[in-house]
Amino acid sequence: MFSALVISTCCTAATISTQERLPIEVIPVKVVNSIDYGTIFSQDEYREKVGLPLLFAQPNVTSITPATHGIWERLPDDKMRWTYRVYCDNAQSMNLGFGRYNMPQSGSMIILNETFDFQIRPFTSEDNKDHGELWTPIVPSNQAVIEIIVDRREKRFVSQNIELTSINAGYRGFKSGEGRGASGACNIDVLCSTGDNWWNEIPSVGVYTLNGFATCSGAMINNTAEDQTPYFLTANHCGVTSSSDATIVVYWNYQNSYCRTPGSGDSGGNGNGSFSQFTSGSTMRATRSYTDFTLTELSSDPSPGWGVTWSGWSRSSSTGGVGAGIHHPSTAEKRISIPDYSSSSGEYWNVNWSQGTTEPGSSGSPLYDSSHRIVGQLCCGSAACGNDSNDYYGRSIGLSWSGSSSSSLSAWLDPLGTNPTGIDSLNPGIAQTGACCVGSSGSCINIYESNCIAGGGTFLGEGTSCDDGGCEPDPTCDSDINGDGITDVSDILALVGAWGSSDADADVNGDGVVGVADLLMLIDAWGPC
């Protein structure tokens, strides 16, 4: 037996002590088919020509449960541990899809590489979602070890409710050993000065995997309630559907730690970004091939500590001059590109780049106008380092705004129903929400000042809350007939003057006749309102 190991996680810089593990060679293994690189690269070239999403892995359908595969061990404190591993001899990375995932309170699952020095953060019962699936980030190795620890009394529950259904062997991207996935040298890191004015938007953009083998880019997008609902905008052609939405894994803040000089060999090589911040799973909300958009709602909120933001958007028919594109070319670290021009052309924005470019894997990424608001997402085009070709972004915000909730954006991005032409980005790290009074009925919502004012509301200040009751309407005082704020003799005189009539001001009880009943109510309410 190996002595106790110390391993580093992919999610923190800290190290954790682990239980003594079995030697890797005695852990039962599932071996999947080798990758035929020649054939798969030829297929990728064809996919790129016809504008299909970039693939990075070869899927292998399977059915593996703790009841049918792997090995169970007894641990101290009445615990049980199940271990299994998967292997592809010539893969660059591995990722896993669990078609059934329902972890009990006592259970946790980690995914490691074969040397146990790389670990994805523990998955627990908090990762149980309504869709019942769990898809993991990549392990940068040709094999992955699955380890579940659970109370002995819940071993059977785990065996019946955890099923590995997809083993995905990576052959490109995500810093593979051969450098496939490094983007073109002309691209510009977001840490370069070009990105200096875009830090309300840069953290909203992420690269994601789908079904364990496809990849695109997308962005968190704000809504009029500014309630941080995790809506994620991407392209329809990337393939997020009601059948595949649960398989999405979005990586946040995957960017180089310094500005690599554009055009240099450094800029054209692998970066040093981290995959440690990720969100798994989603529910597709709206999609349409016209303007090529998909809006999906992530199954959990990104950790507040990651600093993820929500991009604003505009329904305008003009980009107002120079904006930017922020994206992940070829699954590489996040880049920023600046247009030479962008103009509307039917259902698309026609964009030519003056700085940077896009590549396969950038699909679904946002195009921003000069006001830093999303106006569409990357559909297609042939731009690349070394050419001056154009790209095309679907004009989803403007042209797919109204209609059925399943094929338009307004139902999701405008829950307040204020129908604005645009809203700004939401950066929870630099501003506080406050109570916004809407109308005169006492309606209140906690949002940002700029959006409160844009919607015609009254902002009560940063840090205020609807719970404080500041938007409640002033109390009515029906007995105050003359409106001076007090019920007294002057009101009696006014009531007597209207006796027997239907005067609405003097008809305190609203029965249509000014009489004794109104006089009695007035006397009962005597004094200040």
Q: What are the catalytic residues?
A: 237, 292, 363
57 with 88: CB under 8 angstroms? no
Q: Identify how many contiguous H helices and E strands the chain contains and give both numbers.
A: 7, 33
User: How far apart (Å, rounded) are the C-alpha atoms in residues 3 and 88?
Assistant: 27
Q: Measure the CA angle with vertex 71, ends 69 and 74; round to 5°.
A: 145
User: How far apart (Å, rounded) are the C-alpha atoms in residues 137 and 129?
Assistant: 17
The residue type found at 284 is M
Tokens of 503: 């005067």
Tokens of 481: 């007939």
Sheet holding 162-170, edge to edge: 57-64, 162-170, 93-101, 134-135
* CA distances to 74, 86, 169, 260, 480 from 83, in Å: 12, 11, 19, 41, 78
Q: Measure the CA angle with vertex 163, ends 160 and 16; round to 5°.
A: 100
Q: How many CB atoms lie within 10 A of CB 394?
A: 28
Rounded to the nearest 5°, which phi and psi values hold at 254? Answer: -85, 90
| Coil/strand/helix, residue 364 | coil
Tokens of 235: 């392209």
User: How far apart (Å, rounded) are the C-alpha atoms in residues 528 and 509?
Assistant: 19
Q: SS3 for 33-81, per residue?
A: CCCCHHHHHHHHHHHHHCCCCEECEEEEEEEECCCCCCEEEEECCCEEE
* CA distances to 287, 292, 370 from 464, in Å: 36, 40, 32
Q: Where are the alpha helices (DSSP H) in 295-424?
A: 396-399, 410-413
493 with 506: CB under 8 angstroms? no
Q: Where is 451: in which H helix or E strand?
A: helix 449-454
Tokens of 313: 């958007």
Rounded to the nearest 5°, which phi and psi values hold at 312? Answer: -75, 180
| Coil/strand/helix, residue 2 | coil
The residue type found at 457 is G
User: How far apart (Å, rounded) are the C-alpha atoms in residues 52 and 14?
Assistant: 40
